[in-house]
């Protein structure tokens, strides 16, 4: 009996998994749609896309209780990211975000598999509330967030085959905050006026996609999660860079105001704003980090400084004490040399 119940559980799990995939695949065929607001907003996603109500969901909040330093995490290597300007990327408005298809010659290394680039897209807030990042750090949103989506090209022929597999995708997340004008992001942003409405596309000359990443690539959060949009497959190995990239206030405003979710002839245009999913529960899981937490580092620095100060004071006190003692001895010594000299002189011939 125990052997029987042991074998049924995994079979049932697999069956439920396939049923969920089946339902998710059918959903778009049934004309289902999703959005970030209204009756098709994220609370309704699990009805049509069951994975959205399932496990390993993203985005999440990074807070110290779930972070664990892992010294084995290597910085990613970017191959083929410098795309010549003679090549072109297709930029499109898909009704949920602005998305740029990437070159299949771009891939990343230093993950369990090699992952080939597929597309990048952005998530943002609105002109009155520039808090549109998906991932948050200690509850704090950043202004916006860019995702560079890659698929496991060692195991799967294309992104469609990979996207519902547990080891199918690797997404890089870049947090954006306000700072100086960013000429690299402008290489995408300056085309927004050509993708104002859903299904519009424009060609963008190739450039070095590495320019869109932060300078510090060695510090990141790593965890297993999901797509942040329906069908929310739990198939993503996330790398969220710790250091945000800066874009100007004007560039952020362009992102927040340039596009619509609707087609150009729609009588009720819907602005493309607040296209981020709220953070998901993160229980019994860990986020691995490639850096020592600032708090721990500061604590160590404070402790070391404290010990050094105590040592310095102790040495100073000891020296002061020994100086006093030497002073006492010296008084005697000063007197004595005179006596010796006399004795010396006397003893000289
Ligand atoms: Zn995304």
The β-bridge relationship of strands 88-93 and 107-109 is unpaired
Q: Name the active-site residue from 63, 96, 123, 141.
A: 96
pLDDT at position 299:
58
CA distance 191 to 202: 7
> Residue 307, class by beta-carbon neighbours within 10 Å (0-12 exposed, 13-18 middle, 19+ buried)?
exposed
What's the gap in Å between 108 CA and the centre of ligand 1?
18
Contact yes or no for 52/27 (Cβ under 8 A) = no
What is the mean pLDDT, run by run of 10 residues, along the chain of 349 residues?
Answer: 44 45 42 86 98 97 97 98 98 98 98 98 98 98 98 98 98 98 98 98 98 98 98 98 98 98 97 98 93 68 66 75 58 44 42
What's the gap in Å between 229 CA and the centre of ligand 1?
7
CA 26, chain centre distance (Å): 32
Which residues are placed with Cβ below 5 angstroms of ligand 1, an ion? 147
Peptide bond into 231 cis (omega under 30): yes
pLDDT at position 27:
40
What's the gap in Å between 125 CA and the centre of ligand 1?
13
What's the gap in Å between 136 CA and the centre of ligand 1?
14
Q: Which letter does DSSP use for residue 280 in this model?
A: P
What's the gap in Å between 307 CA and the centre of ligand 1?
47
Contact yes or no for 317/251 (Cβ under 8 A) = no
Q: Would you call 96 a catalytic residue per the annotation?
A: yes
Contact yes or no for 103/87 (Cβ under 8 A) = yes
pLDDT at position 304:
64
Those residues with Cβ within 8 angstroms of residue 318's Cβ, 6 or more apart along the chain or in another chain: none
Domain annotation for the chain: domains and CATH numbers: 42-296 (3.10.200.10)
Q: Which letter does DSSP use for residue 260 in this model?
A: B
């Amino acid at each position: 009996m125990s052997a029987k119940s042991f074998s049924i559980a995994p079979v049932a799990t697999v069956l439920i998994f396939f049923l969920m995939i089946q339902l998710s695949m059918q959903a778009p065929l049934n004309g289902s749609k999703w959005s970030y607001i209204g009756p098709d907003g994220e609370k309704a996603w699990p009805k049509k896309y069951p994975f959205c109500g399932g496990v390993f969901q993203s985005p999440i909040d990074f807070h110290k209780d779930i972070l664990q330093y892992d010294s084995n995490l290597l910085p990613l290597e970017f191959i083929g990211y410098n795309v010549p300007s003679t090549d072109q990327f297709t930029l499109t408005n898909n009704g949920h975000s602005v998305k740029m298809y990437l070159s299949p010659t771009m891939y990343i290394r230093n993950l369990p598999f090699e992952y080939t680039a597929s597309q990048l897209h952005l998530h943002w807030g609105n002109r009155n509330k520039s808090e549109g990042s998906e991932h948050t750090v200690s509850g704090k949103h950043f202004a916006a967030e860019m995702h560079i989506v890659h698929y496991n090209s060692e195991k799967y022929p294309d992104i469609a085959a990979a996207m519902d597999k547990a080891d199918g995708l690797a997404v890089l997340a870049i947090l954006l905050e306000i700072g100086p004008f960013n000429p690299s992001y402008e290489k995408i942003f300056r085309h927004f006026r050509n993708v104002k409405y859903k299904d519009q596309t424009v060609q963008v000359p190739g450039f070095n996609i590495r320019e869109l990443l932060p300078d510090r690539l060695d510090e990141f959060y790593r965890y297993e999660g999901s797509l942040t949009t329906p069908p929310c497959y739990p198939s993503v190995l996330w790398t969220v860079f710790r250091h945000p990239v800066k874009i100007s206030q004007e560039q952020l405003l362009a992102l927040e105001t340039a596009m619509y979710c609707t087609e150009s002839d729609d009588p009720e245009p819907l602005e493309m704003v607040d296209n981020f999913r709220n953070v998901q529960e993160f229980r019994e899981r860990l986020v691995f980090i490639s850096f020592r937490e600032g708090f721990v580092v500061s604590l160590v620095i404070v402790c070391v400084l404290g010990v050094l100060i105590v040592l310095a004071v102790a040495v100073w006190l000891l020296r002061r004490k020994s100086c006093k003692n030497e002073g006492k001895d010296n008084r005697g010594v000063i007197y004595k040399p005179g006596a010796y000299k006399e004795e010396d002189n006397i003893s000289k011939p």
